[in-house]
Amino acid sequence: MSRGKHHPPRPKPAGSEGFLIAADLKKDRGWTDTQIKAFLPEPDRTARNPFSRKAAPMKLYAMERVESVEETEEFRRAREASRNRQVAARERALEKKKEAVALAHSLELRIVPEPWDEVQAKALEHYNARLRRNQSPAGPRTSQARRDRMSVNYLRHRQTSYEEELKGFKGVVGVGEAYLVVRNRILDLIAQTYPALQAECDRQKFDAPDLPDGVRGL
């Protein structure tokens, strides 16, 4: 298998021509760690690790031995079984993602309406209370575009069920996809409640995800 310009050859010990390391077997020839342990339990030789003298010696496997093993019926059956397990695992993960997304679409989301002037004022307070180093506080002279961004963030985090709903997806396969559905639905809900924030809500749909504490994407 040819390695392109973005994938330089892996460093190998001196004098290892005609031998493969474990990374070669896995990346270039599709072996798994289990297959290496089962069919190549012992290396043909070892050599000093080129990355560090303190590291364990690298295991080298003769190309002729590897090719001989790959031609056996036992290895072929093991490889086919491994591929079937991988396909089945991907299908299960896909089904779980579909279930998570379906649940995200079915959630009943809520927002607590407030007068527009109160939203603007509380958004400034919310932003200033969370300032990071080198960030300037917001105030009456802050641009409307920036105030709209603060208002949407405030409503997402303080006046909707956004945080609570996402916690229900903690540890669920497909949480990343489900999160995007919930986030976008809440942004639509904010825009419906406060039409002046429609443009900012649309813009935030393209922002990178920022999952709350306790929720991780895949």
pTM above 0.85, yes or no: no
Residue 180: name the closest of 146, 218, 152 by CA: 218
Residues of the chain above pLDDT 90, percent: 43
| CA–CA distance, 156 with 165 (Å, rounded to integer) | 12
Dist. CA 162–CA 215, nearest whole Å: 12
Q: What H or E segment, with its residue span, contains residue 62?
A: strand 58-62
The per-residue pLDDT for 218 is 42
Amino acid, single-letter form, for residue 9: P
Express each pLDDT in 85-128 by its tens digit.
999 988 988 888 888 888 888 888 888 888 999 999 999 998 88
Scan for tokens 């429609």, then name that residue: 198
Structure tokens at 52: 């560090």
